[in-house]
A and B are shown apart, each in its own frame.
Chain A
C-alpha cells in the first residue's frame, strides 16, 4: 500500500480573519479556498477535499461547486469530499453532480461518504435522526449501484423507485473512487467492507494507534465478505510552520477560540492548553515543523497501514495567508520527507498494530 501513498488536504471552508484579525466575508473565503487548492496542486499535493456543513461558520454547503471552480484552474489534483453527508442527500443528485465534476475535471472526482460531525442537515432537509442507519444503508446501496451498474432498477423506503433508470452523464473512466468515512464505530467499519468500499478513518482526538484494531477488523471483514484487499486512509488535523513553536503559537489561539465558542454555547469545559499540547505530542493534532509532522505522518502510515493521508489543515479562523504558507510547506517539505522516511524503513509491522495477531 505504501507505494501508492497519496496525500490530501481537507477543509470545511471556514470563515477566516484577515491578518489584522478582522473577519472576511464568506464569498471571499470561498474564492480564497480555490486559490489554496490551486497552490496545493502546484506543490504536488494529490487531492483537495471539501466537507459538507450547514452552519454559519463553514462555507462548504455546496462543495461540489467549489470543486468545479478548482477543476477549471487545475489539471492534475484530485477533487473530493470530506465528507459527503450521504443520509440527507439524494443519491441520484449526488451522482449527477459528481459525474459532471468528473467530466469537467477530466476524471479527477472522488467521494468520501459518511456521517460527518454535525447533524444540521437532518432537520434542515426534513429527515429524522432516528432513521440515520436505515437512510445511510439505503442511500449507500443506491449510490454504489448508480456508480457501478447502470441502468438501475431499485426501490427503497426513502425515495421513489427506479426502473431501468439511466442517469447522465456517464463516467468516462467508468469509475469514481468512493470511500466510506468512519469515526470508529465497528459497525461502520464492517459496513464499508460489506459494500466493498475503501475505508477512510476520521481520527480527530486521542492516540491514532488505538485504531489499529479497527484496521484489522476491516481487513478481516473484507475477507469474510469475499472482497478484494482495499485501502485504508486517515483524515486528521494539523498545521505546519517553520518550527514546532511557531506552529503551536499560530494554531493554538484559533483552536482555543473555536472550542471556547462552542463550549460557551453548550455549557462545556473548553479544552486546556495542556490537552492541546498532549494532542500535538502524541494525539491527533499534527502540528509542528515540517520534520516533526513528517515523522508523525510516517509513524501513523506504518501503524495503520495507510494508503491515504488527509490533513484537515488549519483549524479555526486562521488567515488565508498563513494557510497558503502552510500548504506550501506541506507540499514542498512535509510530503517528500514523509515519503523519504517511509522508504527508509521496511513494510509496516501490522502484527504489532493488531496486538500480536497476524
Chain B
C-alpha cells in the first residue's frame, strides 16, 4: 500500500499538457543496476530502451544476454523513447550529459554518490539536500524524482513481492513534481515494491544509503517514519 509522507507543501506541478506515457521506460546506463532494472521492467511489461557507454556492439550483446526483450540504443534515442527515464550511471557521470537532454521527462535519479567509484567529489559529498538536487540543477527542465537508489541491484530482482504481500520492501520517491512522483510510484508498484511518497526532492537525503555493503531494507511504515515532515 502506498503511504503518503504527511503534509506536503503545495507546490504547483510542472506545467504540461501531455499525459505521461508510462508503458515505456528508458534507462541510461547498462551496468549492474541498469541491466538488472531493464530485466525487471521487461518482466513487468514495460517497453524498455537502454543505453550504455562503450562500443555499441558490446552494449547490444550485453542487453541481449542480460535483459532480453529490452533494446539497446544510444542515450539520445533512449531520451526520445520514453517519458520516464532512469539515470543508472555512476553519479558523477551525469555531468557528461546535455542539460536539455531530458526536457519535460520524468527523470528518475537512481544514482548514489560512492567515492570508490565517483572519486573525491566535493559537490556531491557536501550536497546538504541530497545528491539529486545537484542532478536537478544540471537538468533544470527535467522532472527529477529520486528513487530506485535504495536497494542493492540484486535486491531489485530477488526481493520483488506481489501487491498486498506482507512486509513488501518499500522504495521511496522524492520529487517536486507531484505527477512525476506518482508516475514513479506506479513503476515501483509494478516492479514489486511498496512505493512511499517521500515528499519534495530535498527529502531525498533520507533515501540515501549509509554506504553499507548490505543495503538496509524497510517496509512502507518503517520507511515513512524516516521521511522528514
- A–B complex contacts, Cβ < 8 Å, 27 sampled: A118-B116, A119-B115, A130-B118, A130-B119, A184-B32, A185-B32, A186-B30, A186-B62, A187-B53, A190-B54, A190-B62, A205-B214, A206-B154, A210-B157, A213-B65, A213-B66, A214-B66, A217-B65, A220-B61, A220-B65, A221-B61, A224-B61, A266-B210, A266-B211, A266-B212, A268-B211, A354-B65
Tell me which residues across on chain B come within 8 A of A275, comparing CB atoms: 214
In whole angstroms, how far apart are the Cα atoms of A309 and B216 in the complex?
Answer: 30
B92 interfacial contact with A, CB 8 Å: yes
In whole angstroms, how far apart are the Cα atoms of A132 and B120 in the complex?
Answer: 13
Tell me which residues across on chain B come within 8 A of A224, comparing CB atoms: 57, 61
Partner of B31, one of A130, A186, A213, A271: A186
In whole angstroms, how far apart are the Cα atoms of A194 and B54 in the complex?
Answer: 12
Whether B210 and A128, one on each chain, are in contact in the complex, defined by CB atoms closer than 8 angstroms, is no
In whole angstroms, how far apart are the Cα atoms of A132 and B31 in the complex?
Answer: 15
Whether A217 and B158, one on each chain, are in contact in the complex, defined by CB atoms closer than 8 angstroms, is no
Partner of B158, one of A119, A129, A210: A210
In whole angstroms, how far apart are the Cα atoms of A214 and B32 in the complex?
Answer: 10
Whether A268 and B58, one on each chain, are in contact in the complex, defined by CB atoms closer than 8 angstroms, is no
Size category of the A interface is 20 to 34
In whole angstroms, how far apart are the Cα atoms of A354 and B64 in the complex?
Answer: 12
Tell me which residues across on chain B come within 8 A of A357, comparing CB atoms: 68
Whether A190 and B61, one on each chain, are in contact in the complex, defined by CB atoms closer than 8 angstroms, is yes
Give the distance to chain B from A118, nearest Cβ to Cβ, in Å.
8
In whole angstroms, how far apart are the Cα atoms of A216 and B182 in the complex?
Answer: 37
Once A187-B52, A206-B154, A217-B65 are accepted as A-B contacts, the answer to whether A129 and B57 lie under 8 Å apart by CB is: no
Give me 13 other A-B pairs in contact (C-beta within 8 A), A213-B66, A357-B68 excluded. A186-B32, A186-B66, A187-B58, A210-B154, A210-B157, A213-B65, A216-B65, A220-B64, A220-B65, A221-B61, A224-B57, A268-B210, A269-B214
Whether B211 and A119, one on each chain, are in contact in the complex, defined by CB atoms closer than 8 angstroms, is no
Whether A129 and B118, one on each chain, are in contact in the complex, defined by CB atoms closer than 8 angstroms, is yes
In whole angstroms, how far apart are the Cα atoms of A357 and B58 in the complex?
Answer: 19
In whole angstroms, how far apart are the Cα atoms of A186 and B37 in the complex?
Answer: 13
B213 interfacial contact with A, CB 8 Å: yes
Give the distance to chain A from B154, nearest Cβ to Cβ, in Å.
5
> What string of 1s and 0s marks CB contacts (under 8 Å) between A106-146 and chain B?
00000000000011001000001110100000000000000
In whole angstroms, how far apart are the Cα atoms of A317 and B92 in the complex?
Answer: 36
A174 interfacial contact with B, CB 8 Å: no
A263 interfacial contact with B, CB 8 Å: yes
Nearest CB in chain A to that of B34: its residue? A186
Whether A119 and B116, one on each chain, are in contact in the complex, defined by CB atoms closer than 8 angstroms, is yes
Mostly, the A contact residues are helix
Size category of the B interface is 20 to 34
Give the distance to chain A from B89, nearest Cβ to Cβ, in Å.
12
Tell me which residues across on chain A come within 8 A of B213, comparing CB atoms: 205, 268
Give the distance to chain A from B54, nearest Cβ to Cβ, in Å.
6
A267 interfacial contact with B, CB 8 Å: yes
In whole angstroms, how far apart are the Cα atoms of A24 and B27 in the complex?
Answer: 50
Please report B residues at the A interface, Cβ cutoff 8 Å.
30-32, 35, 52-54, 57-58, 61-62, 64-66, 68, 92, 115-120, 154, 157-158, 210-214, 216
Q: How many residue pairs bridge A and B at CB < 8 Å?
A: 77
Q: Which of A187-204 contact B (CB under 8 A)?
A: 187, 190, 194
Tell me which residues across on chain A come within 8 A of B214, comparing CB atoms: 205, 269, 271, 275
Tell me which residues across on chain A come within 8 A of B116, comparing CB atoms: 118-119, 129
Give the distance to chain A from B118, nearest Cβ to Cβ, in Å.
7
Tell me which residues across on chain B come within 8 A of A210, comparing CB atoms: 154, 157-158
Give the distance to chain A from B219, nearest Cβ to Cβ, in Å.
16
Whether A217 and B119, one on each chain, are in contact in the complex, defined by CB atoms closer than 8 angstroms, is no
Tell me which residues across on chain B come within 8 A of A221, comparing CB atoms: 58, 61
Q: Which of A326-358 contact B (CB under 8 A)?
A: 354, 357
Tell me which residues across on chain B come within 8 A of A263, comparing CB atoms: 212
Once A129-B118, A213-B65, A221-B58 are accepted as A-B contacts, the answer to whether A267 and B154 lie under 8 Å apart by CB is: no
Tell me which residues across on chain A come within 8 A of B61, comparing CB atoms: 190, 217, 220-221, 224
Tell me which residues across on chain A come within 8 A of B117, comparing CB atoms: 129, 132
In whole angstroms, how far apart are the Cα atoms of A299 and B35 in the complex?
Answer: 26
Give the distance to chain A from B58, nearest Cβ to Cβ, in Å.
5
In whole angstroms, how far apart are the Cα atoms of A66 and B140 in the complex?
Answer: 55
Tell me which residues across on chain A come within 8 A of B154, comparing CB atoms: 206, 210
Whether B30 and A129, one on each chain, are in contact in the complex, defined by CB atoms closer than 8 angstroms, is no
Nearest CB in chain B to that of A117: its residue? B116
In whole angstroms, how far apart are the Cα atoms of A268 and B216 in the complex?
Answer: 9
Q: Which of A214-246 contact B (CB under 8 A)?
A: 214, 216-217, 220-221, 224
In whole angstroms, how far apart are the Cα atoms of A271 and B58 in the complex?
Answer: 36
In whole angstroms, how far apart are the Cα atoms of A122 and B92 in the complex?
Answer: 17
Nearest CB in chain A to that of B33: its residue? A185
Whether A217 and B62, one on each chain, are in contact in the complex, defined by CB atoms closer than 8 angstroms, is yes
